[in-house]
Structure 1
C-alpha cells in the first residue's frame, strides 16, 4: 500500500497548529509493506513532509520565533561558522552599555531577574512581614542612601583602620606601631570587624580546615608581569591615588606603595598558577596542627586558628588541617622575615581600603572607575539601584531568593526541569555503558557516582517556610543607616555560619549549604564534595527555559546547562571525587590513561583556537574542565531530546523558522552563548577565566558532534565537521 502526499496533506492540513495540541497522527500511520529499506525510507520521508506543515501559533511561540530570528544571521553558512550563524544578529545589534564590559545571553536574563528583585526589595518596610525580608529591604536602603554615605565621608573606614594601628602611608611619621604591630594580630582584628582574613594566606572550612595561598588584590596572571604591564601600572596608580584621597603625601605614597606592590608581587610569584591547581590529590596534604607547627613555626597555629573560629569552636594540636600548597608556606616564611612590618601593614591596609571603596564616597568610587576602565573597559558607574540590588542579593541570598520564588516562580517549571534532569542523567548513564575505553570496575564506580548525584532544582522547600528562614537569620543585624557596618555584620554572620560546619558530615539535602540557597541567580553549579548539582530558579526563565514553548528549545538551552553540570562530575577535576564527594582515586590505571588521552585532545583543540579580536590563543589547560563539560552537555541533552521526541512525537515548528526540531535544538543551544565583549574584558577573560569565550563554547563542541554535522548536512572537512573530532564523554 502507498500513501500519497495529498492524503497526508488532507490528514494534517496546511494551517497552523497550537503547541498544546501537537498531534501524533502520523506516528500511527504505517506503510502496509514489508520491512524493506525502500519502505523504511518512504516512511521517513513522509514523516518529514508531514512535519513541515506543523506550526506553533501560540503567543509564546511567536515571541520565541521573533527573539531567535533577531539573534541569527542566516546569510552565514552554518557549516562554516555556527556561532556567527546563530548569534550574528546579536553581535551586530547589541550595544554594550557604558557600565558593562560584556553582554551575553546570561547577562540579558540576569538583567530581567535584577528588575524582578528590585521591585521586591525596594518596597516599603512592613513591620508585619517576616524579619529576614525586612533585613533585605534595610540593606538595600542603606546602599541607596547616598546622602548619608557622603555626609559620613571617609570616617567609617578611618575608625576601622585606627583600630588596626592605621594605614602607615597615611599616618606618615605618626605611625607608632613599629614594634608591636604584626600581620597575625591584624588578621585576628580584621576577623572581628568583618573583613577578609585572606591577605597573607587563606584559611577556610570545608568540614575540615584548609589553608591555602593568599587571595590577591590583582590576579596573579597580571602581577607576575611586573610594573611594565599596563594593568599592573593602573593598579599601582589606583593604590597611590586612593592613599592620597585618604590624606597621604603623594611622594611618600609613590615610594611606600611601590614597596607594598612588590610584596604582593612576591606573594604572586610563590603562588601556584591555575594550571597547577587542577590536581586536587596534589593539593590534599593533611597534617595535624602539631605537625603544622613544626613545619611552619612562624605562626602560632592553634592560637591563630582559635582566634578566627566562632567562640563556641576551638582546635587542639591533634586537629587535622589540609595544606593545599606546601611550597607556598615554605617560601612564605622567608618572605615575611625579609619584609619590614611597615611594608606588610601598608599592603594589608591597602587591601582593606580597596575592599571598602564600593561602600563609601563617590570620590573613591570614581577613582576606582578609572582603574576599572583599564582592566575591563567599562566607562561608567553601574546605576545605583542595580548595584544595590546585586549587593543585597549576594549578601542575603536566602531572604532575597525566597521573596523571588514566592512572587515570580511557577511550580510547573520545577517539575519539568526535574523531568529533564532525570532524562539527561539517564542519557549519561547510557553513555557510561557505551564507552569502550572503560574497564568494568571503573564503569561500575562511575555509574554509582551518577546514580547518587543529588539534584537541587529551583529552590529548597524551606524557602516557603518563614520560621526556617527566621531561624537561619536570627543572629544577623542590619542597620539601614550604616551601610559599611551592615556589610561587615553580614560578613561576620556568613563566616561564623561557614565555620559552624567544622567536623560535621556532608548532608546533600541540607538546604542552607554552599550554593543550595542561591535561588535568585542565573547560573548552575556542580559541587564535587557533595556530588550534587544545582539549577536555581533564576535560570529557569528567559532564553533558557519556559514551560510554554516546544521542548527542543528547552533541551537546547537549559538542557545543555543540565548536561554541562552533570558532566562536571566526570571532568578533569570532578572525576577525582567519588560518589560521596570524597577525594578518592576510583579509576583503574589503564582507564585513567585513556581518559587523559581524550582530555589531551580537548586541551590541544581549544589551545589551538585563536581569538580574532585579541589575536590571543586560548588556554586549553585552564579551560579543559569547562570545555569537557560543554562537550558532554551538548551530547547528553541532544540524545535526551531525541528520546523525548521518540516517546512524545514530533513538535511543531516556530513561525518563520523553517528548521527541524533537531536543527532548532542546535540553534537554541548555540544562542545560550551569544556574546559581545569589550577588548579589555576579553583579554581578562582569556587570561583568567576557566570558561572559553562564548564563540568557542559553540564552535568547539558542535564541531565535535557528528549529529550536528548530519542535521545541517555539513560535508566532511567543513569547519563545523572536521575530520578529527575530540570526545571525552
Structure 2
C-alpha cells in the first residue's frame, strides 16, 4: 500500500457505540494504539515480526548480491538502500516509556458538556498540531495513520517500512505459529512493501528518500526491459469476469513490488528447517512448497 495522500470522509452521525469507537480511533490513533496494545496485544509478536523483517531484508540484499545483470555500482547502491531502510514495527519503541504519549494531549481538554461539533473541532485542531510537529521533526510517528487498523506500508520519501499492530497479530501472525507459517503469512507483504523502494518509481529515490538517479544507463535500460515484460504478460491476461484484457502499464509498480515480495519471502521460507517445526492440523501431508503458496494466498485475499 502506498500512502500518497489522505482523504477525509464525513459520515452521518450514528447512534451506536461502534461509530463512537471508530471516531475516537480515527481522531486519536496514538491513544487508541496505547489502549489496544496494553489490553489486547501479545507484545512477543513485535520482536518476532522485527526479526522477520531483518530476515526478509537479508534475503533481499542476497538477491541483489546474486543478480547477474546489475553492475557493481548499482548493486552496491541497492544494497545500501536496503540496509538503511528504516522500520517501525507497530510503533516506535520510545512509546513504551510510561507517560510518553501524555505530552501529545496536553494542549486539549474535553468536557462532557461539549457538543459533537465542539469535540470534533478540538480533535481536528490537535491533529493539525501533531501533523506539523511530525513534519518539523518533533514527533517520530505520523499522526495520520490509524495504527489500530491492519496494514503495512512503505514511505519512499523516508525510505521507511511500517507494520501496523493488527497486521502482526492473529490471524495473520502469532508467536504460537510455526516459523514457516509466519513467513508464508506476512513475508510476501513485508517483501512487497520493501520492494516499493525498488519499483518503477521508488528506484528513482536514494537511501535517504531524495530524488537521485543512482542507476547506470545500462542497468536502467535493462530494468525498463524487464518491467516491460511484466506489462506485456499482464496485458495478455484475459479476465473473463472483467470482459477485457487488463492494462499492465497502470499497475507496473505494484507488479514489480509483488515480484520482489514473493521472491524474497520464498527465499526466506526455503531456509526454514521444517524438521524442527510442528505441522499444521489438517495439513500434515501438505508439501512445504504447496503450503507456502496456500498460506500466502489466504493472507493476500484477506489483507
Q: What band does the TM-score fall into relative to the shorter chain?
A: 0.7 to 0.9
Partner of 2:44: 412
- 2: CA distance, partners of 1:355 / 1:429: 40
Counterparts of 1:259-278 in structure 2, within 5 Å, are none
Q: 2:99 aligns to what SS in structure 1?
A: helix
When residues 591 and 654 of structure 1 are mapped into structure 2, their CA distance, relative to the original with a 3 A threshold, is same
Please, which of 634, 640, 651 is the counterpart of residue 262 of structure 2? 634
Please, which of 194, 197, 210 is the counterpart of residue 566 of structure 1? 194
Partner of 2:124: 491
- 1: CA distance, partners of 2:67 / 2:28: 44
Tell me if 1:512 matches 2:138: no
When residues 617 and 389 of structure 1 are mapped into structure 2, their CA distance, relative to the original with a 3 A threshold, is farther
- 1: CA distance, partners of 2:175 / 2:210: 37
Contact 2:134 2:141 in 1 (8 A): no
Please, which of 250, 272, 296 is the counterpart of residue 622 of structure 1? 250
How many residues align? The count is 298
Contact 1:462 1:469 in 2 (8 A): no
TM-score, normalised by the number of residues in structure 1: 0.38
Please, which of 637, 660, 672 is the counterpart of residue 287 of structure 2? 660
Give CA deviations for 1:653-689 in whole Å, capped at 9, x if unaligned: 32332202232111100111336xxxxxxxxxxxxxx
Tell me if 1:457 matches 2:98: no
Counterparts of 1:66-77 in structure 2, within 5 Å, are none
Give CA deviations for 1:124-171 in whole Å, capped at 9, x if unaligned: xxxxxxxxxxxxxxxxxxxxxxxxxxxxxxxxxxxxxxxxxxxxxxxx
Please, which of 543, 546, 561 is the counterpart of residue 174 of structure 2? 546
Q: CA deviation at 1:582?
A: 1.0
Please, which of 141, 149, 163 is the counterpart of residue 521 of structure 1? 149
Counterparts of 1:107-256 in structure 2, within 5 Å, are none
Contact 2:151 2:167 in 1 (8 A): yes
TM-score, normalised by the number of residues in structure 2: 0.87
Partner of 1:117: none
Q: CA deviation at 1:428?
A: 0.4
RMSD: 2.8
Tell me if 1:392 matches 2:24: yes
Give CA deviations for 1:526-558 in whole Å, capped at 9, x if unaligned: 111211111121111223101112222111111
Structure index of larger Rg: 1
Q: CA deviation at 1:589?
A: 1.5
Tell me if 1:482 matches 2:109: no
Partner of 1:122: none
Q: CA deviation at 1:631?
A: 1.8
- 2: CA distance, partners of 1:392 / 1:622: 36
Q: CA deviation at 1:427?
A: 0.5
- 1: CA distance, partners of 2:9 / 2:177: 44
- 1: CA distance, partners of 2:102 / 2:45: 27
Contact 1:479 1:485 in 2 (8 A): no
Contact 2:134 2:140 in 1 (8 A): no
Q: 2:89 aligns to what SS in structure 1?
A: strand
